[in-house]
């Protein structure tokens, strides 16, 4: 049997959280390893347990999105899946900006939730179809007449910082020492950077960064 998906649930409604844990734990390939009710507990559980996925509510003490941002920065190996009652497009956009891999509405059927959890563990993303269509329309309206974005635009501030150090031919350990991160954490960041830039290795990523810098200096 394949390794189980280690999952943490953080929601300030204890009854809902316990019911969700019961549904997920009944699956042979899912192990609910922790529960919490605040953003601070989400951060602590992420650091202590390093689960594969954290199911995180948006509206709870200490702020779910604030916790998601910190977890993404400090523990990038942990995948964030927002589970919320909010159908707000702004909340969806904010969740994606802080690194959430999935935005799941609480009305979702149990079978669909299980499918999404497994998909997120496999590296996929999920957004409710209706909200995805709405965001797509908004994006088209906002970017009409604007220059096309580049893969570099998809990087977070921390990923850009690490890419700049890659361009200086620093090793993962040297980057970690410079930015006060573990070598393992830097390795995870580098993997995400390569995926976002659609390049095969560190050298190609560094060349892309240097090319972008040269173009910026020329005003292109």
Q: Given 3.40.50.150, 1.20.1440.130, 3.40.50.2000, 1.10.10.10, which CATH number is that of 151-218?
A: 1.10.10.10
> What is the per-residue pLDDT for 133?
62
Q: What is the pLDDT of residue 218?
A: 47
Phi, psi angles (nearest 5°) of residue 79: -90, 135
Q: What angle do CA 49, 52, 53 make, to 5 degrees?
A: 100
Nearest one of 98, 97, 83 to 128, comparing CA atoms:
83
Q: Which residues of the chain have pLDDT under 70?
A: 1-2, 133-150, 210-220
User: How many C-beta neighbours within 10 Å does residue 48 have?
Assistant: 11
Among 11, 32, 37, smallest CA distance to 21 is for 32
Q: What pLDDT, on the 0 to 100 scale, is given for residue 128?
A: 82
pLDDT at 2: 59
pTM: 0.62
Domains 5-139 and 151-218 are alike in CATH topology: no
Architecture of domain 5-139: 3-Layer(aba) Sandwich (3.40)
Angle, in degrees to the nearest 10, between helices 110-121 and 14-25: 70
- Of all residues in the chain, the percent with pLDDT exceeding 70 is 85
pLDDT of residue 37: 94
Tokens standing for residue 179: 């930015």
CB 102 within 8 A of CB 114: no
Q: What is the pLDDT of residue 139?
A: 46
With CA atoms as reference, report the closest residue to 54 among 33, 40, 25, 73.
33
Return the pLDDT at 140.
Answer: 39
Assign residue 145 a region (left: φ > 0; alpha: ψ between -120 and 50; beta: otherwise): left
What does the domain layout of the chain look like in residue ranges?
Answer: 5-139, 151-218
Alpha helices in the chain (DSSP H): 14-25, 39-49, 64-74, 89-97, 110-121, 129-143, 157-167, 172-179, 183-197, 202-218
């Amino acid at each position: 049997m394949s390794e189980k998906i280690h999952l943490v649930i953080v929601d300030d409604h204890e009854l809902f959280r316990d019911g969700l844990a019961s549904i997920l734990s009944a699956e042979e390939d899912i192990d609910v390893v922790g529960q919490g009710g605040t953003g601070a507990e989400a951060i602590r559980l992420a650091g202590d347990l390093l689960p594969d996925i954290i199911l995180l509510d948006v509206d709870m003490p200490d702020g779910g999105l604030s916790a998601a941002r910190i977890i993404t920065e400090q523990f990038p190996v942990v995948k964030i899946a927002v589970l919320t009652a909010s159908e707000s497009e702004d909340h969806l956009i904010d969740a994606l900006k802080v690194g959430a891999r999935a935005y799941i509405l609480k009305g979702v059927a149990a079978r669909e939730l299980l499918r999404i959890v497994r998909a997120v563990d496999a590296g996929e993303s999920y957004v409710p179809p209706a909200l995805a269509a709405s965001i797509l329309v908004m994006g088209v309206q906002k970017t009409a007449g604007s220059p096309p974005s580049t893969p570099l635009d998809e990087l977070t501030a921390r990923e850009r910082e690490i890419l700049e150090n890659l361009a200086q031919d620093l090793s993962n350990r040297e980057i970690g020492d410079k930015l006060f991160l573990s070598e393992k954490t830097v390795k995870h960041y580098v993997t995400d950077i390569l995926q976002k830039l659609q390049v095969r290795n560190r050298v190609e990523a560094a060349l892309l960064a240097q090319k972008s810098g040269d173009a910026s200096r020329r005003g292109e």
